[in-house]
Structure 1
Amino acid sequence: MLTASTAVTLARVTAGGRTTAAVDLRGGGLRALVVDGVPLVETYPEGAPAPQCAGAVLFPWPNRVRDGRWTQRGVTHQLPVNEPGLGHAGHGLVGGTLFAARARARDRVTVVGSVTAPPGYPFSLTLAVTYELTPRGLTVTSQVCNDSPVPAPVALGAHPYLRIGDVPTEDLVLRVPADTHLPLDERLIPRDAAGVDGTAFDLRRGRRLGTDDLHACFAVTPGSSTTVTAPDGRALELWADDDFAYRQVYVSRAYPAPGDESSRRALAVEPMTAPGDALNSGTGLRWVPPGGRWRLAWGIKASLG
């Protein structure tokens, strides 16, 4: 178990309301976000591991690398396989990294972690993630710095599970502004892009989630937001810079409910700069030059009436 020193709490109080958040320094991810008493992301107990990658920072790649093996520029690398059920390397290399809190204020913190040429990824990078509360949500700004003497292939993502208070996930309406999705194969690796017209993946007008399974990768319309709406009209939007050109959407059947032994459905909406297996396909992959920096942002904004 981790100690309380690995958690950073933020708060912002204005005439319009109160916003709070918690950042987990183990992995640098978002552990909680609450606006006017309404939780907007699934959480987990302080000091506990993040279940099902809740709130995780996905770096230097999001999603999966098939068999943990990737080839770029004529060189093949082998990453440790950490998803034995499917046989892949999943969600990057910083999940177990202890980030350092810097530039901390009441409503803002920057957490800094690094990747230092681990097996299968011979590059050194520094990642600084700034969490800043807004009157109705949160802005997350990331800056990647390549500390290597050669260009480094990088992609970035985040893994929040979105919610609106205690509204069951089944009753939420999800809207994803995407004309295209990347069908997933039996091992959850994306295939060639396909249109959403006439398919179960057409979420452009919004659809109640119900009890259907959903696991999909979308190429989203630049500048658009993914929205989640409750039956009473309360809503939140997940917005992102154009660099976050993809959204992985996943409904877990068994997210562990904090404080008891039960589980329930939970909705992950993951902004990503590249789809799964980008270290092989090159799709969305960014080569950051030596000493180069890459800055990008995403966030959550609530409309609670």
Structure 2
Amino acid sequence: MDPTGTQIHLRREGTGGEVTAHIAQVGAALRGLSVGGVDIVTRYDAGSPTPFGSGIVLAPWPNRIRDGKWNDNGTERQLDLTEVALNNAIHGLLRYTPYEIDASEDTVTLNATIFPQHGWPYTLRTSVTYTLTDDGVQVTHAVENVGEGDAPVALGTHPFFCIGGVETADLTLTLPATTVFEVDERLLPTAEVPVSGEWDLRGGARVGDLDLDTGFGKLERDADGRARSSITAPDGRRVTMWQDENWDYIQAFNTDKYPGHDVALAIEPMTAPTDAFNSGQDLRRLAPGEQWTATWGVAYSA
């Protein structure tokens, strides 16, 4: 059995040819997306565990919580440490969870419940719906507090992007962020400052010239309210990741250790920054019975 569980394959005809997606049951991970035969999400081998959290859903928090500790309205909570080397709790409570699946030809909804556990006393019903579009995919997350007490919630996801066989190092990365988070040696934020110099990626920079495990915020938005990040190939082909108004943060990450690739790039949409359970920055509290939805997506243009 594949360590990422049941594999879901979606397809539809788009304006630029066939659109296909590959989603894994474990972590509700987006592990493949192609438009007109061009891969735009970085794949990994069948039968392999998810490398670097590739494509997984991050809930009820993205990124890191310092020492796994957080103050819950006066009560100190201790989460399990899941990034032992840096003594942090990282990427939420669903990354190894097998979701329930409701799939059709071009859309799938994956459902999972977050139950009370170490350092987390709440119950959340979550879902993520992948719907193919003419040029990519739309992804909608839904969260409902089905327990007691006001539950803190932030969301993220961890997709890696590419453009066919183009070397990722040669792609140009453009981000709409106006702030960047300075961090300590444990990659925890110490300050949020205006972007400048190498961190101002609004004009684009070559991926191979960047060293990223970096949080960005206060995203510039287009007239439709969406913030758009992109990677562009030397021949002009482009992959755009868009985020609705719920997602005002991005974690950008590149690595030379992704299996089968010299360089891989993740552009991670987040609704709150690293360590938001402690800072409270853009952290939502859902009352019992309250629901929240947030949407992002990916589009390819040749």
Structure 1's 241 and 14: CA in aligned 2 closer, same or farther, altered over 3 A?
A: closer
> What SS is found at the alignment partner of 2:148?
coil
Shift of 1:4: 8.9
Partner of 2:201: 203
CA contact under 8 A between 1:4 and 1:46: conserved in structure 2? no
What is the rounded CA distance, in whole Å, between the counterparts of 1:151 and 1:84 in structure 2? 29
Shift of 1:149: 1.5
Paired residues for 1:75-86 under 5 Å? 75-86=75-86
Which structure 1 segments of 5+ residues have no match? 258-262
Partner of 2:292: 294
Shift of 1:3: 7.1
What is the rounded CA distance, in whole Å, between the counterparts of 2:210 and 2:300 in structure 1? 25
> What SS is found at the alignment partner of 2:256?
strand
TM-score (norm 2): 0.95
Which 4+ runs in 1 deviate beyond 6 A?
none
Question: How many residues align structurally?
Answer: 297
1:135 aligns with 2:134: yes
Partner of 1:98: 98
Which structure 2 segments of 5+ residues have no match? none
What is the rounded CA distance, in whole Å, between the counterparts of 1:15 and 1:196 in structure 2? 37
Deviations 1:95-137 (A, max 9, x none): 11110112x2100010101110111111111111100000110
Paired residues for 1:169-184 under 5 Å? 169-184=168-183
CA contact under 8 A between 1:28 and 1:98: conserved in structure 2? yes
CA contact under 8 A between 1:170 and 1:265: conserved in structure 2? yes
1:121 aligns with 2:120: yes
Structure 1's 15 and 79: CA in aligned 2 closer, same or farther, altered over 3 A?
A: closer
CA contact under 8 A between 2:183 and 2:191: conserved in structure 1? no
Matching residue within 240, 255, 258 for 1:255: 258
CA contact under 8 A between 1:227 and 1:235: conserved in structure 2? yes
Shift of 1:264: 1.8
Partner of 1:7: 7
What is the rounded CA distance, in whole Å, between the counterparts of 1:293 and 1:283 in structure 2? 20
What is the rounded CA distance, in whole Å, between the counterparts of 1:253 and 1:26 in structure 2? 24
1:192 aligns with 2:195: no
CA contact under 8 A between 1:171 and 1:210: conserved in structure 2? yes
What is the rounded CA distance, in whole Å, between the counterparts of 1:14 and 1:221 in structure 2? 29
RMSD of the alignment, in Å? 1.4
TM-score (norm 1): 0.94
> What SS is found at the alignment partner of 1:143?
strand
Q: Which amino acid counterpart does residue 226 of structure 1 have in structure 2?
A: S
Partner of 2:106: 107
Structure 1's 279 and 24: CA in aligned 2 closer, same or farther, altered over 3 A?
A: same
